[in-house]
């Protein structure tokens, strides 16, 4: 299909950036993974000796089908599904047909409900996406932020509270704030454990137990799930409750929120010309204003995050509920999980591109600080407090609030007050561009911690 004719921009405009995610979120990927799970179950069941053993050549063939699933196999499954109108059963019938097992075919899908296969298939795909795509791009983004923070850790700039200039900080420390926030949730994802179930139609192993009552189906199920590197959810209805999915979605959404906050701050720093963007000669910033370099990457990321988070929060709520044992309202929603994570991936990629272009306008930072001696009002009143001056805050407020002042207001204060020499010396040594407290030290500590966690 011509990408320009796609309904979704994920399959159209942004296809080149997210096409590889079809390995985790496409219908093809889901069907392939269902067959892998069915075959894994078949081969484990074959080891129990509950059924007539598979001939060795059939074991080899089953592994081959799992490892070399292809477009032709997918098309055949979709043909069967069209005929019987059941997606998971179509996979079962395909495997029976493909493996030509005769009566031994009874092992395929024995005692299972569709949700046993689906929860394992979907969860496997989410785990692969997390490990192969989500964590790596977050790691790359964090490493870029660390690089910027390290480079800018001593560069003083005016902070802003309520949009107004406030006590100075350093550019590196402002970046370190977001590193610190992201790192907490990166660690949560890095240690995240999905859970799964394999226990039949209403979660009680009933079909398995009635056929082979002396076999330990609980232990079999636990071992099977743990071998897939999932935690076991033993007590379920027909469906796995998806609480772990919701945890993943919510963590992903919170990471997105932090990046959204950072995007907006960077956008504002660019608008105040404290940050600049490197230009590419071929790029056009405006169709009519040739001089412009718009912060489009941060804006694009913002839109993708807001869209992704609408879906992630909705899915985290919706997929944890089901009428009684099971209803199918979750089925179509599950097929759109990839939409949420594709927009998440796009957002992270766009932020990363924006950061690659970002540079600091050191001269502008210096000039803004030089032109803002009123920012010394805080340290002045703090020194006066330590000198036991009566109502120093109110005194400085009268001299500075809402006024454009020069540094000479400090000399005026000194002339009014009978201060000891050490306090006079402190006041006269104040400099706006050096009033950054422990910003550099905080930045360095966050950088060191981040490097330790993601090396």
| pLDDT grade for 103, boundaries at 50, 70 and 90 | low
pLDDT at residue 3 greater than cutoff 80: no
| pLDDT grade for 400, boundaries at 50, 70 and 90 | confident
129-147 pLDDT, tens digit each: 999 999 999 999 999 999 9
In this predicted structure, what is the pLDDT of residue 288? 62
Contacts of 20 (CB under 8 A, 6+ apart): 133
β-bridge pairing 358-360 and 275-277: antiparallel
**Which one, of 360, 435, 408, 363, lies nearest residue 172 by Cα?**
360
Say which range, 64-68, 77-81, 256-260, 285-289, has the weakest mean pLDDT. Answer: 285-289
Backbone angles phi, psi at 362, to 5 degrees: -65, -35
In this predicted structure, what is the pLDDT of residue 290? 61
SS (H, E, C) 123-138: HHHHHHHHHHHHHHHH
Radius of gyration for the chain, computed over Cα atoms and rounded to the nearest angstrom: 30
- Nearest-angstrom CA–CA distance, 432 and 370: 7
Range 79-102 average pLDDT: 93
In this predicted structure, what is the pLDDT of residue 104? 67
Residue 169 per-residue DSSP state: E
In this predicted structure, what is the pLDDT of residue 286? 53
Domains parsed from the chain with CATH numbers: 19-107 (1.10.275.10), 117-363 (1.20.200.10), 370-434 (1.10.40.30)
In this predicted structure, what is the pLDDT of residue 152? 97
* Cα 134–Cα 135–Cα 141 angle in degrees, nearest 5: 95
In this predicted structure, what is the pLDDT of residue 399? 86
Backbone angles phi, psi at 231, to 5 degrees: -80, 155
Say which range, 50-54, 352-356, 396-400, has the weakest mean pLDDT. Answer: 396-400
The pTM assigned to this predicted structure is 0.93
User: What percent of the chain shows pLDDT beyond 90?
Assistant: 83
Say which range, 17-31, 52-66, 94-108, 245-259, has the weakest mean pLDDT. Answer: 94-108
Q: Is 109 a residue of the active site?
A: no
Measured CA to CA in angstroms, residue 60 lies from 40, 55, 63, 65, 69 at distances of: 12, 9, 5, 9, 14
171-212 pLDDT, tens digit each: 999 999 999 999 999 999 999 999 999 999 999 999 999 999
- Nearest-angstrom CA–CA distance, 108 and 53: 13
Q: Is 286 a residue of the active site?
A: yes
β-bridge pairing 275-277 and 195-196: unpaired
Ramachandran region, residue 432 (left: φ > 0; alpha: ψ -120 to 50; beta: rest): alpha
Q: Which of 286, 329, 331, 386 is catalytic?
A: 286
Classify burial at 365, counting beta carbons within 10 Å of its beta carbon; exposed 0-12, middle 13-18, buried 19 or more: buried
Q: Which of 162, 281, 291, 429 is catalytic?
A: 162
42-52 pLDDT, tens digit each: 999 999 999 99
pLDDT at residue 6 greater than cutoff 90: no
pLDDT, averaged across the chain: 93
In this predicted structure, what is the pLDDT of residue 327? 83
User: What percent of the chain shows pLDDT beyond 70?
Assistant: 96
In this predicted structure, what is the pLDDT of residue 283? 65
């Amino acid at each position: 299909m011509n990408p320009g004719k796609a309904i979704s921009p994920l399959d159209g405009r942004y296809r080149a950036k997210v096409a590889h995610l079809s390995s985790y979120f496409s219908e093809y990927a889901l069907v392939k993974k269902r067959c892998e799970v069915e075959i894994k179950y078949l081969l484990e069941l074959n080891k129990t000796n509950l059924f007539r053993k598979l001939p060795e050549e059939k074991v080899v063939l089953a592994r081959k089908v799992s490892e070399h699933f292809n477009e032709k196999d997918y098309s055949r499954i979709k043909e069967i599904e069209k005929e019987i109108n059941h997606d998971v059963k179509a996979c079962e019938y395909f495997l029976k047909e493909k493996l030509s097992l005769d009566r031994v075919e009874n092992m395929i899908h024995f005692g299972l409900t569709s949700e046993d296969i689906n929860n394992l298939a979907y969860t496997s795909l989410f785990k692969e996406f997390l490990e192969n795509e989500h964590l790596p791009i977050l790691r790359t983004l964090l490493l870029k932020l660390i690089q910027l923070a390290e480079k800018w850790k001593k560069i003083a700039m005016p902070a802003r509270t309520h949009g107004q200039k406030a006590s100075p900080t350093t550019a590196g420390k402002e970046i370190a704030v977001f590193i610190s926030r992201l790192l907490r949730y990166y660690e949560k994802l890095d240690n995240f454990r999905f859970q799964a179930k394999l226990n039949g139609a209403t979660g009680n192993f009933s079909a398995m137990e009635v056929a082979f009552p002396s076999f330990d189906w609980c232990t079999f199920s636990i071992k099977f799930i743990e071998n897939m590197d999932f935690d076991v959810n033993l007590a379920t209805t027909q469906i796995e409750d998806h609480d772990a999915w919701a945890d993943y979605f919510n963590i992903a959404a919170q990471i997105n929120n932090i990046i959204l906050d950072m995007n907006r701050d960077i956008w504002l720093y660019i608008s105040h010309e404290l940050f600049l963007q490197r230009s590419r000669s071929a790029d056009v910033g405006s169709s009519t204003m040739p001089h412009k370099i718009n912060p489009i990457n941060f804006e694009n990321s913002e839109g993708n995050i807001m869209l992704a988070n609408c879906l992630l929060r909705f899915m985290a709520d919706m997929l944890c509920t089901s009428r009684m044992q099971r209803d199918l309202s979750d089925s179509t929603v599950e097929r759109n999980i990839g939409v949420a994570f594709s927009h998440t991936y796009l957002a992270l990629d766009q932020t990363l591109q924006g950061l690659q272009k970002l540079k600091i306008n050191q001269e502008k930072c210096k000039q803004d600080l030089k032109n803002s001696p009123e920012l010394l009002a805080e340290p002045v009143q703090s020194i006066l407090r330590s000198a036991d001056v009566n109502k120093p805050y109110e005194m400085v407020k009268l001299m500075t609030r809402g006024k454009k002042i020069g540094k000479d207001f400090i000399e005026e204060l000194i002339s009014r007050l009978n201060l000891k020499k050490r306090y006079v010396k402190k006041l006269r040594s104040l400099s706006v561009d050096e009033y950054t407290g422990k910003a550099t030290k905080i930045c360095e500590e966050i950088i060191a911690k981040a490097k330790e966690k993601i090396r």
